[in-house]
Chain A
Amino acid sequence: MDLGGINLVTLVASLMVAAVPIMLAAIGELVVEKSGVLNLGVEGMMVMGAICGFIAAVNTGSPVLGFVGGALGGAALATIFALLTLGFLANQVATGLALTLFGLGLSSLLGQGYNGIKPPPTTALFGPLGEIPVIGPILLGHDWMVYVSILVVALVWWVLKFTRTGLIIRAVGESHDAAHALGYKVARIRFLCILFGGAMAGLGGAYVSLVRVPQWVDGITAGAGWIALAIVVFASWKPWRVLLGAYLFGGISVLQLRLQAAGSAIPVEYLSMAPYLITILVLVIMSSGRGRSALNAPAALGQNFHASR
């Protein structure tokens, strides 16, 4: 299974791991945006999830509780965002950016004293089954969060597409005035969506500090939240395309390093731009092919709602 000195099996296996944080954060943000809210604070919520998850895991010794803590940490920060944008009708773009600034600072304060500690390991779900050639590493060899992340995508897809809850979320995101007229509690629905988005970003962050790195250092997410935001746009607000986008981006990021390791003749700096350029390229092809996918954005995205009766 080698191609140009690169083992495809390990490539796929490692891109699945590399994509988890951005995928979780992006699927959360997708729900938020579907409800008509643009939260640019994903990076801040991720890094809060990373430190809260780390603290929880180290103090309880349980990675599961760590991830719970991460989700709570992300959701807690998201609450501030919800309060400001829903309660005080503050500008969403600016609030989101301020949230990132605040989250980076707060996480660093909380994390003092947690440098240089190893968190409890998150184990592979199927144990020895991961040793089976080819399908083992790709399908069975991962830690359980990899499967959780895919399940979350599936769940979000199912809820948005087939359930009444999904219908309401979409209605609120398309036209909050109409949804309000129909008697839906716009603010409450959006609040719950923002909490969900925060929790997912927090989970993604916790995955970085508990599995990917695993360690706490200031600013550990190093910009993953921004990529997650871009993936939502890339996916044109469709859940499965979030998975595709995250795997594509994660895949190219991992591939470019492997090409280097395999002694590829392509200059390194072009390789390191590749994930960004290829993401743009794919989006251009998608948007020009269908012509309308970029118009798929929720109509009320970024607008605040005030029931004026």
Chain B
Amino acid sequence: MLRLEKRPIPSRFWLYGTPVVAVILTMIFGGLLFALMGVNPFAVIKTIFWDPLFGEFAFYLRGQLLVKAGPLILIAIGLSLGFRAGIWNIGAEGQYIMGAIVGAAVGLAVFPTENRLIYPVMVLAGALGGWAWAMIPAILKTRFNTNEILVSLMLVYVAQTILAKASTGFLKNPEGMGFPGSRNFSSFPAAANPELIAGSGLHWGGVAAFVVAVAAWVLLSRHIIGFQIRLSGQAPRAARFAGVAPQRLVVLCMGLSGALAGLAGLFEVTGPAGQISIDFNVGYGFTAIIVAFLGRLNPLGIVLAGILMALTYVGGEMASTNLGLPSAAIQVFQGMLLFFLLALDLFTNYRLRFGLREIA
């Protein structure tokens, strides 16, 4: 019989080893899948994991990894704070949309004024938009004890309808021949979020992601609020005795995660996406939940997890274009990778007794 035994302290080896083993296992099983589909598995795996980093076009794709990972990291860090405290904001997608709409609206309202203050104000507005949207579930939770999972999720759909209305109505480009979508920010320098270093893929969103990651690390490890967050998640009763006000924590965590999601939306819409359109949101808010947990709710882990997710997206796209794989096969591959990552996490905290060879 197999038996799991909790390790007295988490294994350092497995902490760093699991991602590597998971990737290798995914390569094996994913390779089998690709071989079954009649595609050369070695070519696919090289295209996904090697080419974006070191291949012929890596000079371009490395930057793209950052473009893709930036919003994921930014949102995931915000979410991780709440998740640690047992506060379930799963509506980051809606906050992302609202941040983008509010921030973009501020910028578009003053088009075509050129002023250096415009962009900072837009950033602020974006954060506020996301914050305000997250405050709805937060306040309903603290006032009426309404479950925040349901409210934040439902508000995603509401935000999507508002987005459709924005792009076909109040933010529609007046010179767009009646087509849906706002003006493109790339033609409005004061409100645009361009690449900071050409070819690097780094824009203000990426900068913000790293700054926030560091700030979150400091908050969690050095600040009393970080302590309160950790305590509320691990031992809610003890937290109450220690004087943590759960209501305030809900407002704080929801607000922070909303503001960061809103920021991510604003950076995305003024930068890589370029404009408000009916479906400019591509599910970052949901993917970020996976990223948050893959990174074990730890800021540094989230940064790495975000980059790994970005790699599978960018590399997966290339594999699909160059080798004719259906994009569904890439989704399955990504799912496998996540499964292995999540499963192997076990060995960080537990060790197997008897018959180790049977499971690995």
**Chain A partners chain B:** yes
Q: Which of B9-17, B211-219, B336-344 contacts A (4 or more CB under 8 A)?
A: B336-344
- Residues 315-360 of B contacting A (Cβ, < 8 Å): 326, 328-336, 338-339, 342-346, 350
- A101 close to B331 (CB less than 8 A): yes
- Residues 78-96 of A contacting B (Cβ, < 8 Å): 80, 84, 87-91, 93-95
- Residues 263-309 of A contacting B (Cβ, < 8 Å): 269, 272-273, 275-277, 279-280, 283-284, 287-288, 291-292, 294-295, 297, 306, 308
Q: Is B146 positioned at the interface, with any CB of A under 8 Å from its CB?
A: yes
- A269 close to B338 (CB less than 8 A): no
- B158 close to A277 (CB less than 8 A): yes
- A276 close to B343 (CB less than 8 A): no
Contacts of A218 in B (CB 8 A): 328
**CB-contact partner of B147 in A84, A107, A272, A283, under 8 A:** A283
A-B contact pairs, 29 of them (CB 8 A): A84-B342, A88-B343, A88-B344, A90-B343, A90-B345, A93-B83, A94-B294, A94-B338, A94-B342, A95-B339, A95-B342, A97-B286, A101-B335, A105-B333, A108-B328, A109-B37, A109-B328, A230-B153, A234-B150, A276-B155, A279-B150, A280-B154, A283-B151, A284-B146, A287-B147, A288-B143, A288-B145, A292-B145, A294-B145
Asked whether A230 and B154 contact (CB < 8 A) given A101-B331, A106-B328, the answer is yes
Contacts of A108 in B (CB 8 A): 326, 328, 331
- B346 close to A98 (CB less than 8 A): no
Q: Is A157 positioned at the interface, with any CB of B under 8 Å from its CB?
A: no
Q: Is A123 positioned at the interface, with any CB of B under 8 Å from its CB?
A: no
Q: How far is the CB of A88 from chain B (nearest CB, A)?
A: 4
Q: Is B161 positioned at the interface, with any CB of A under 8 Å from its CB?
A: yes
How far is A229 from B162 in the complex, measured between Cα atoms in Å? 23
Q: How far is the CB of A233 from chain B (nearest CB, A)?
A: 4
Contacts of B339 in A (CB 8 A): 80, 84, 90, 95, 98, 102
Q: Is B278 positioned at the interface, with any CB of A under 8 Å from its CB?
A: no
Q: Is A203 positioned at the interface, with any CB of B under 8 Å from its CB?
A: no
Main secondary structure, interface of B, reads: helix
- A288 close to B144 (CB less than 8 A): yes
Given A97-B286, A101-B334, list of 5 further CB < 8 A pairs? A90-B342, A94-B294, A104-B328, A279-B154, A294-B147
How far is A106 from B30 in the complex, measured between Cα atoms in Å? 12
- B290 close to A97 (CB less than 8 A): yes
Contacts of A163 in B (CB 8 A): none
**CB-contact partner of B154 in A99, A276, A294, under 8 A:** A276
Q: How many A-B contacts if CB must be within 8 Å?
A: 142
- B150 close to A283 (CB less than 8 A): yes
Asked whether A98 and B335 contact (CB < 8 A) given A226-B153, A273-B157, A273-B161, the answer is yes
Chain B interface residue count, CB cutoff 8 Å, equals 46
Q: Is B164 positioned at the interface, with any CB of A under 8 Å from its CB?
A: yes
How far is A279 from B154 in the complex, measured between Cα atoms in Å? 8
Q: Is A112 positioned at the interface, with any CB of B under 8 Å from its CB?
A: yes
Chain A interface residue count, CB cutoff 8 Å, equals 48
- A98 close to B338 (CB less than 8 A): yes
How far is A277 from B136 in the complex, measured between Cα atoms in Å? 12
- A93 close to B150 (CB less than 8 A): no
How far is A308 from B4 in the complex, measured between Cα atoms in Å? 8
Contacts of A94 in B (CB 8 A): 289-290, 292-294, 338, 342
Q: Which residue of A lies closest to B349 (CB)?
A: A89
- Residues 151-195 of B contacting A (Cβ, < 8 Å): 151, 153-155, 157-158, 161-162, 164-165
How far is A239 from B331 in the complex, measured between Cα atoms in Å? 34
- B144 close to A284 (CB less than 8 A): yes
Contacts of A306 in B (CB 8 A): 4, 6, 350
**CB-contact partner of A269 in B6, B151, B164, B286, under 8 A:** B164
- Residues 103-127 of A contacting B (Cβ, < 8 Å): 103-109, 112
Q: Is B140 positioned at the interface, with any CB of A under 8 Å from its CB?
A: yes
Q: Is B149 positioned at the interface, with any CB of A under 8 Å from its CB?
A: yes
Q: How far is the CB of A183 from chain B (nearest CB, A)?
A: 18
**CB-contact partner of A229 in B153, B286, B338, B346, under 8 A:** B153
**CB-contact partner of A272 in B151, B161, B286, B342, under 8 A:** B161
Q: Which residue of B lies closest to A108 (CB)?
A: B328
How far is A121 from B329 in the complex, measured between Cα atoms in Å? 31
**3 residue pairs, one from A and one from B, having the closest CB atoms:** A102-B335, A105-B331, A94-B293
Contacts of B37 in A (CB 8 A): 109
How far is A306 from B352 in the complex, measured between Cα atoms in Å? 13
Contacts of A276 in B (CB 8 A): 154-155, 157-158
How far is A284 from B139 in the complex, measured between Cα atoms in Å? 11
